[in-house]
Amino acid sequence: MISELQSIVGENYVTTGKDLAAYSSDWVGWYSWEPLALVRPANTAEVAALVKWANENKTAIVPVSGNTGLNGGTHAEGAVMLSLDRLNKIREMRADARVAVVEAGVIMSQLHDAADGLNLVFPMTFGAKGSAMIGGMLSTNAGGSNVLRYGNTRDLCLGLEVVTPQGEIMDLMGALHKDNSGINLKHLMIGAEGTLGIITAAVMKLAPKPLAYATAMLAVPDLDDALRLLNNLQQATGGGVEAFEYMTRPYVEAHMKNHGGGEPFDAPHQINILCEVGATAPRDADVQPDGSVPITSYLEDVLGRMVETGQVLDAVIAQNEAQRRQMWERREAAGEVLLSHKPLVNTDVSVALDDVSRFIRLADARMQQIDPGAQPMIVSHLGDGNVHYAVWPTTHDEAVHKSMIEAIEDCVVEVQGSFSAEHGIGISKLDTMSRRKDPAALAMMRTLKTALDPNNILNPGKVIPPAPAD
């Protein structure tokens, strides 16, 4: 087997034995496995040859990008892992069309830099931007902090190149904003976590680079006030709000303890909002004779009026890039902050914007019923209804942790939300899929998987739970 793999990608690009240690667990240390080998193809043709080999030999193949997922999506016991890190070329930057043609192994920050050189932005961002790869982001339909203005990864993708389970190359690489030529296979592949095909390249949207940012930390009386604040800011800025991120008081305290960050305000507040507005028009961004920036001055005026009416309790506006980055570091450190405590119950849910406060109240009450003294640790992309509802339990009892997860699911169902917003399913949410996903939807997913991948070689055991026994 090793010899055959080496004949496809070269002897230096097949890893076995002790050298697999770095590819035998996820980055948070929740899952571990023993793969057969790691292969690192150089191009799409080699990916196709590897998948064709795997299909003919009925050998499982698990694609891996930055390996920064949270749900065990790269678990590869007894499988060949296929790393896309060598498919790392930016094939084209088409500034006039505002698209980038990139291979799956391009790291998000690499695309950020390339777009910046053209005075454009690739508008997706989150904490793992220095390691997350485009292929993995598409496979999980990753979200992040700017979804409010620009959408999920799915919304930023115009075209795909995909290797099918039979080793064929499917070319869907058009940069078209409209294409109604049959079933949308691009969207079928995005979010499928490599179970239906392996994404090797994509056409991604770029956006005008904001000429200036107005960034602020805000404190409000309650989350319903926060939603009204968001709507007011969107109207006042013409839809310019790029991020609207919520952090609870316990989270802020944990960040200060673990990262040495300071208080966001002179006095502590329970509801802490990071808000950022991006200005693309010169009239809003040109520095004035007094050194002020119009978009920042405007935000100061709007927030000042809201402080006077009591809609905002406190506000601190970044006066320079260093202060802006300090505000963002507090939010982007969420992964490290939450993982600083063990045990951790971690969920990633989505609810309607006007149901966020209701969901959190319901979930908080249930957590205290199950484990009095447990500490919810909540951060949220509040502008799009994505709540990372994590809990620090007082016990290591896994039965208690399972009860917490099912209770959170109950609360999600009560407000008609989704138990998975942006982190994917992998293996950790298979039980939740069985319990909560519509049975007809699950049946259709199983039918699609069987039809497209009858030998079940692509990332088997992920996303779609097995059918119940008769």
CATH architecture of 341-429: 2-Layer Sandwich (3.30)
Residue 470 confidence (pLDDT): 60
On whether the CB atoms of residues 206 and 117 are closer than 8 A, the answer is no
Please give the single-letter amino acid code of residue 4: E
Q: Which helix (H) or strand (E) holds 158?
A: strand 157-163
Residue 53 confidence (pLDDT): 98
Are domains 212-333 and 341-429 of this chain identical in fold?
yes
Read off the pLDDT of residues 335-356 as tens digits, 9 standing for 90 and up: 899 999 999 999 999 999 999 9
Angle at 313 between CA 267 and CA 411, to 5 degrees: 95
Residue 128 confidence (pLDDT): 84
Please report where in the chains the tokens 């979804």 appear, as a residue. Answer: 147
Residue 425 confidence (pLDDT): 95
Angle at 130 between CA 322 and CA 49, to 5 degrees: 165
Q: Give the HSE-up count for residue 449: Cα atoms under 13 Å, Cβ half-sphere.
A: 22
User: Which bin fits 78, alpha (ψ -120 to 50), beta or left (φ > 0)?
Assistant: left
On whether the CB atoms of residues 160 and 190 are closer than 8 A, the answer is yes
Give me the CATH code for the 2-83 domain, please: 3.30.43.10
Give me the CATH code for the 212-333 domain, please: 3.30.70.2190
Read off the pLDDT of residues 223-260 as tens digits, 9 standing for 90 and up: 988 998 999 889 888 889 999 999 999 999 999 998 88
Residue 351 confidence (pLDDT): 97
| The dihedral sign for the CA sequence 415, 416, 420, 426 | positive
Please report where in the chains the tokens 């989704």 appear, as a residue. Answer: 418
* Averaged pLDDT, groups of 10, the chain, 470 residues long: 96 94 86 95 98 98 86 92 97 98 97 96 90 94 91 96 98 95 96 97 96 95 91 88 96 91 92 95 90 90 90 94 94 91 94 96 97 96 95 97 97 96 93 95 97 98 89
463's CB contacts (< 8 A; 6+ apart) are: 192, 193, 195, 424, 425, 426, 430, 433, 445
Radius of gyration, CA atoms only, the chain: 23
Return the axis-axis angle of helices 398-414 and 356-370, rounded to nearest 10°. Answer: 150
On whether the CB atoms of residues 361 and 378 are closer than 8 A, the answer is no
CATH match of 90-208 with 3.30.420.40: no
59's CB contacts (< 8 A; 6+ apart) are: 1, 36, 53, 79, 80, 457
CA dist 272 and 86 (Å) reads 41
Residue 28 confidence (pLDDT): 78
- Ranges of each domain in the chain: 2-83, 90-208, 212-333, 341-429
Average pLDDT of the chain is: 94
